[in-house]
Structures are given as C-alpha cells and as structure tokens.
Amino acid sequence: MWVYNFLSKSNFLNKYVHKIIFASLIGVVTPLTGISIYLIFLRHSHIAVVDTFFLILGFTLVGIIIIVWLLNQLTFPIDMAQKELTRYNQTDEIPDLPTHYPDEVGLIMRDIKKTAKSTNRLITEKNDFTAMLSHDLRSPMISIIGLLKLIKSQPESVQARYYCDKAEEFGYHQLKLMESILSLLNEENQSHKSPKKVIVNLSKFLAESLAQFELSLKNKQLAINQNIPPQLEVKVEPYSFSQVITNLLHNAIKFSKKGDQIYLNASNGGDSVKISIEDEGIGFCLDNPAVLFERFTPERKRGTQGEPTNGLGLYLTKKIIEKHEGTISAESAGNNKGATFRIMIPS
C-alpha cells in the first residue's frame, strides 16, 4: 500500500492509469539504464556478443521483475476493497477503507464505503416500516374486533348501527394507513426523502385519533382533558403522524389506572408546534429516559390491566418524529407519578 500511497502524493499521477504507465516506464527504462551504466564504467574497449546478449537479457528480466512488483503493489488497494466488500457481505460491518485518494481506485473505495452505509440505512428503514406494519397497525384492528364482539353480543341493540359505523370508520382509517406505509416502503431511497407534509388542524386531528380509543377510555373510566387552540395548525404527513399520536395515546391509556385523567396540550412556539400527552399512570424512574425510545427497550412494561407490549411503539414514534425533523422526549416524577411525552414539530 505504501507504493500506491507514495505515488498518490504526486500531482502528475492523480489518475490510476498514470500510475500504471509510470510503473511500466520504470520497468522499460531499467534495462536501458543498467546497460548504459555498465558500458560507461566498463574498462575493456570491447565486449563479446554473447556477453552483450546475456547482459541485455539480465537487465530485461530485472525490468520485468520491477514492473510486476510495482503493478502488484498498485493492485493492493483493489484487493483490499474486494476483501472489505466480502467481509461486509458476510458480517454487515461497514468496510474500513481509506477515502482520501483522488484517483479512480480511491473513488471506488469511497463509493463502496458510502454505498455500504447507505445500504445499511435503507435496510434499517425497511425493517422499521416492516416493524410498523406488524406493530402499529394492530391497534385499529383490535378496536374493530372489539366493536364486532359488541355487535355479536347485542344483535338487537340500538347501538348496533353505531358500532358498525365506527367499525367501518376504523377499517377505512386502517386501509389508508396501510396504503401510506406501503407507499413509503416502495419509494426509492426513502431514507433520503422528507415525508409529504400537509397542513392539518391539530384539534380535529387529535379528535380523530381519540375516536379510536373510545372503548378503551370507557373501559378504564378515563377522562380526557384537552387544552388545544381551535385554530392551531401543524404541517405533517397525516397518516404516519397519526401513528405518533395513536402510539402515545395508546401508552397513556395502557399505563393509566382506572379513573385517571389524561391531558392533551398544544401550543404554537413560534418556529415550532409543541404537543404534550400527560397521564397519571405508573410513570417511570430512569436516569436516562431516552432508553424508552430504543428498539425492544428493556424498560418495556405491561399495562395496568395486563396489556402486552413488545418495545417497538416508542421507537417507531421517535423515527417518525425525526422524519418530520422534530424531537420527542419523555419525563416522569417517578414511579406511579405519571409520565409526560413532549413533541416539537417545525411550523
């Protein structure tokens, strides 16, 4: 590698083909130089034809050996790139390649490293959206199943039509959400693109999300207190951002005790919209609340009525907020003292 590194320092050899030509010229010049030096320092005025033949042959072999050695040294970065690429395919570890060389081989090493990083990001994004499909889409379906069970248990009830209407509403919401997420999965280079945002009325937006939890709120006898300016608007990708609100509301309900209250607050912070969802539930006592947003966080807990969790909800919520160039944080005064989740989204 030192030969390639040494030659790369020359401005005249800033292309890989120039390095190859230079190595070849050294090999060609070597026998001529050797013969010239031999003749200059030769003490005899005459030299036999046979000696001349072997002399030329010897210096030519030396020149060939030098060419082969130099070209072999110049292939070192290519071999290194091939080995690192093979290791990446086997272990998914980012290739450890130099990226400062300006010639064609340097650009190849740089592109290999860049492509590996980009591929890892794309794989992570695909996994995240797949996890979203397997996790976040469950909530509306659970609501639909619950409504249908009520219809089956009260076939003649006046409420039957109301339950059917709600089930249809949730079904359409689910269908739109699935189409949105699948569209994101199919978009090329999605990790480098921003979500397609539209302006929505936050009060109406939250009301639509709350409608999904009517039965859960009624079951736990939870009260919702809202402090949201009626004209407050936020620019978001509607279906993915609805999952943010759905996840946070789902957690607030899940970790609340019977008869508790949940507080929804929002305000315009100038260059951002601030949203908070606060509950009076089991809370948490953590030195680093950011661990709650990790994939399969070890801090996941069951709800107050044994509701299961798989540690993906807050992780996916954070990913969506980051896609919106926003932030999310969690805080709690301690165990059984409730929790507050705060969101900031650029206006």
**Distance from C-alpha of 157 to C-alpha of 211, rounded to nearest angstrom:** 21
- Name which CATH class applies to 194-347: alpha beta
Amino acid at 75: T
Q: What confidence tens digit (pLDDT) does each residue in 139-149 have?
A: 676 777 777 77
Higher pLDDT, 91 or 139: 91
Q: What confidence tens digit (pLDDT) does each residue in 21-36 have?
A: 877 887 778 777 777 7
Higher pLDDT, 209 or 135: 209
Minimum mean pLDDT range among 90-99, 115-124, 306-315, 319-328: 306-315
**Using an 8 Å Cβ cutoff, are 310 and 251 in contact?**
no
Determine the pLDDT at residue 136. Answer: 64
Determine the pLDDT at residue 188. Answer: 42
**Using an 8 Å Cβ cutoff, are 316 and 131 in contact?**
yes
Domain ranges of the chain: 2-119, 136-191, 194-347
Q: What confidence tens digit (pLDDT) does each residue in 153-187 have?
A: 776 666 777 777 777 777 766 666 666 565 555 54
- pTM, entire model: 0.55
State phi, psi for 163 to the nearest 5 degrees.
Answer: -65, -40
Which H/E stretch holds residue 72?
helix 49-74
**Distance from C-alpha of 316 to C-alpha of 133, rounded to nearest angstrom:** 11
Q: Which region, left, alpha or beta, applies to residue 317 given φ > 0 means left and ψ of -120 to 50 means alpha?
A: alpha
Pairing of strands 261-268, 223-227: parallel
The alpha-carbon radius of gyration of the chain (Å, integer) is 34
**Distance from C-alpha of 239 to C-alpha of 125, rounded to nearest angstrom:** 17
Determine the pLDDT at residue 307. Answer: 75
In sequence order, what are the residues at sequence separation of 6 or more whose Cβ sits closer than 8 angstroms to the Cβ of residue 168? none
Q: What confidence tens digit (pLDDT) does each residue in 259-299 have?
A: 999 999 999 988 899 999 999 999 999 888 999 988 777 77
Among 211, 334, 327, smallest CA distance to 283 is for: 334
Determine the pLDDT at residue 189. Answer: 44
Q: Which pair of tokens denotes residue 171?
A: 């079904």
Mean pLDDT of the chain, nearest integer: 80
Work out whether the CA dihedral 8, 13, 18, 20 comes out positive or negative: negative
**Distance from C-alpha of 28 to C-alpha of 246, rounded to nearest angstrom:** 74
**Distance from C-alpha of 156 to C-alpha of 108, rounded to nearest angstrom:** 72
Work out whether the CA dihedral 218, 219, 220, 221 comes out positive or negative: positive
Q: What confidence tens digit (pLDDT) does each residue in 70-89 have?
A: 888 888 788 888 888 888 88
Q: Which pair of tokens denotes residue 224?
A: 């919702």
In sequence order, what are the residues at sequence separation of 6 or more whose Cβ sits closer than 8 angstroms to the Cβ of residue 212? 139, 140, 143, 170, 173, 246, 249
Q: What confidence tens digit (pLDDT) does each residue in 193-247 have?
A: 567 889 999 999 999 888 888 888 988 999 999 999 999 999 998 888 888 998 8
**Using an 8 Å Cβ cutoff, are 105 and 16 in contact?**
yes
| Confidence class for position 96, pLDDT limits 50, 70, 90 | confident
